Structure 1
Amino acid sequence: MAEHIHLVANNPDLGGGERMLLRHAEALTELGHHVQVVTAGGELAEVAAAAGIDVLPIRATDRPRYIRALRNWDRRERDGLLWCHGLVPALATAGHRRRIVHLHQQPQSRGQAAALVVARRPALRVLVPSQAMTHDVMGARVHLNWTEDLPLLPRPPRRPRLRVGFLGRLTTDKGLDVLARAVGTLVGAGHDVELVVGGDDRHVPADRRDAVLRALDETPAEVSLLGQVERAEVLARVDVAVFPSISAEPFGLVAAEAMASGVPFVVSDAGALPEVAGPDHPWIARTGDADDLARVIALALSASDDDVRAVTERARARWEADYSPHAGRLRVRRLLEELAP
């Protein structure tokens, strides 16, 4: 009989880790397991319930109460495997039996690093989404993220004004201010370039948001701010997508989405982004260097149709092998076979 598996959330909001929790719930359900999402309500609970996934709401008004309530529930009521998606549920259930600790970002402080030492005892596995993240979480196993099942997008026709696209939060962490300066450099060098931005500034500290808005206001390039939109609304209309993160990315899901969609893309060398793109990807810029980013974007924009096709076909094949839903289901199945009681 398939095991009952509880997927426990770090936050009630629908962030990157929570989206991966939902993808695991879908994969586990397709593999025949009874799945329950455990969360303190919020957007995650609503989306999971709408998808037909069993939801256990842990009633708590703040994080300390969530930790206490989660620990009590896990000790008294849980039956089956506990899959902790994040440091908070892992810490709350530290010392309990039959747990997976799955981290979607590296520890952000000494306090979090110390908490992780406690949170991972005992754990059947400690999972992280990239090899780059194992440098911060010693002894962890790489368990790659994956995207939704995405179709190839039609490529826009060549036109005089070239469109450079960005997807993500409007924050300096994602390097949007660096990208604004880079496209300004391209305009200054005679390129006719428009910057198309998809994303918003929810949960972005004011200083990181304001620096981005100033850079966007000061760039000589035309800027189209689309707000929070579906990824295809950006990817289908740009000549190249750019993901110029400054912070060390634990994975880089937007890059994997571009790979699936057949869109040429540029990344910085921050964290796992080059790892996701693959060793043969030709368009990688130095983190935080607007001049180098402008140089690499210019290379991508000037590549021949044959070269672009070769890069995007190779990227799509990498997505199918590593970052597609099928690849994700295979990884989950193999992991559970290893952990079968």
Structure 2
Amino acid sequence: MSVERRLRICLVASSRYPIREPFAGGLESLTHALATELGRRGHRVTLFAAPGSDPALDVEELPVPAFHPSPAARRDVNAPSERWMAEHHAYLGLMLGLARDGHERYDVVHNNSLHHLPVAMAPALRAPILTTLHTPPVPWLESAVLLSPGSSVFAAVSRSMSAAWDHAVPSTPVLNGVDVARWRPGPGGGPAVWSGRIVREKAPHEAIDAARLAGVPLVLAGPVADEAYFAAEIGPRLGPDVVHVGHLDHRALRRLLGRASVALVTPAWDEPYGLVAAEAMACGTPVAAYDRGALPEILGEGTGALAAAGDVPDLARAILEAQRCDRALVRRHAERHCSLSRMVDDYERLYLALVDQDVAA
């Protein structure tokens, strides 16, 4: 998409994890890619993100100051955690600043965080605000949406997420994307790969069990975000045929996925999008995944195989089926449907519609 106007964009990210490699998760990776591509297209992007984010981006830190409640406050049995309070103050400071003069500095605000305050305080801003829904409905976000109807426009990272939020707010599906110029096809033929944060809700232990049942060696790549889960369910399952290679940057992960024969995606919840599936397909690697959330939207015919959610024997069947897919076809599907360029085209259309609507008002 060719946009003649260059916009001043305020991009609001997470205050919890820095926007830099190795990324804590898909949200951080996606935010980095979005900010980079918007800048490459000539837009002036200011990224509000956690300290330690990539200095190559124009970052204004969301400071999360240490908060030490008084002894009296600590006695409150309903008191939120100190981290919760610190993040609350970080976003409160950001939104108060945007309410003061954000309309003079930015043409549009794109809220890419999971925090409730950018949604709840949207009526205080004179600049138009777009919020992307990255997660199924959660109480703090749903209450913020209902508190300020009509003050923010919403996108959702998949049709599945849009439908999940439909009871509370309408949203435009904008499927996530990956930079297919960087995620290049590889030769395949190697072990299966599972990548992501190692937490119970992503169920890598079921990927291990299914790979063993299929007789396919497996490599796990990703940060251990739940030490107790890793100790109970992952560590005891590791062995010569299943290894954990740790938290990889994108260069190493691209090499790993390019050599893989199949990528496994095993959510124990309704996956909002499934960026790891798009990354794998961009490398030409077919996907064996549970039929949950947005994954049926991402996979196309001949790009992998779906299994019934939580059904390990069916996932083993899907692994063997996916391995027979044509890697060139898988790559072409990613280029057409999972690209960063397509995603940013969609966001540019939403930005311009918001800016034109704001000017007309």
TM-score, normalization by structure 2: 0.79
Task: Spell out, residue by residue over 1:228-250, the C-alpha distance to the aligned partner (whole angstroms, 9 max, x if none).
Answer: 12312421332221112222111
Paired AA for residue 228 in structure 1:
H
Q: 1:321 aligns with which of 325, 331, 336?
A: 336
Deviation at 1:114, TM superposition (A): 1.8
Q: 2:276 aligns with which of 234, 251, 254?
A: 254
Deviation at 1:315, TM superposition (A): 2.6
Contact 1:8 1:37 in 2 (8 A): yes
Show the counterpart of 1:154: 186
Q: 2:143 aligns with which of 110, 114, 118?
A: 114
Q: Distance in 2 between matches of 1:111 and 1:272?
A: 22
Change (3 A) 1:9 1:93: farther
Change (3 A) 1:164 1:92: same
Paired AA for residue 178 in structure 2:
T
Q: Distance in 1 between matches of 2:157 and 2:315?
A: 26
Q: Distance in 1 between matches of 2:254 and 2:199?
A: 21
1:70 aligns with 2:66: no
Map 1:54-93 to 2 at 5 A.
54-61=58-65, 62-79=86-103, 80=106, 81-88=108-115, 89-91=117-119, 93=121
Change (3 A) 1:58 1:296: closer
Q: 1:42 aligns with which of 32, 35, 51?
A: 51
Deviation at 1:19, TM superposition (A): 2.6
1:104 aligns with 2:134: yes
Change (3 A) 1:321 1:120: farther
Q: Secondary structure at the match of 2:165?
A: coil
Change (3 A) 1:256 1:32: same
Q: 2:306 aligns with which of 281, 284, 293?
A: 284
Contact 2:91 2:118 in 1 (8 A): no
Paired AA for residue 142 in structure 2:
A
Q: 2:36 aligns with which of 23, 26, 34?
A: 26
Show the counterpart of 1:6: 10
Paired AA for residue 207 in structure 2:
L
Q: Secondary structure at the match of 1:236?
A: helix
1:17 aligns with 2:36: no
Q: Distance in 1 between matches of 2:141 and 2:349?
A: 30
TM-score, normalization by structure 1: 0.83
Paired AA for residue 297 in structure 2:
E
How many equivalent residue pairs?
A: 313
Q: Distance in 1 between matches of 2:283 and 2:174?
A: 22
Contact 1:129 1:142 in 2 (8 A): yes
Q: Distance in 1 between matches of 2:295 and 2:260?
A: 20
Let me know the Cα RMSD of the aligned residues.
Answer: 2.4
| Percent of residue pairs identical | 25
Paired AA for residue 95 in structure 2:
R
Q: Distance in 2 between matches of 1:299 and 1:60?
A: 47
Q: Distance in 2 between matches of 1:3 and 1:299?
A: 46
Paired AA for residue 212 in structure 2:
G
Q: 2:348 aligns with which of 333, 336, 340?
A: 333
Change (3 A) 1:177 1:293: same
Paired AA for residue 153 in structure 1:
P
Unpaired runs of 5+ residues, structure 1, are none
Contact 1:247 1:271 in 2 (8 A): yes
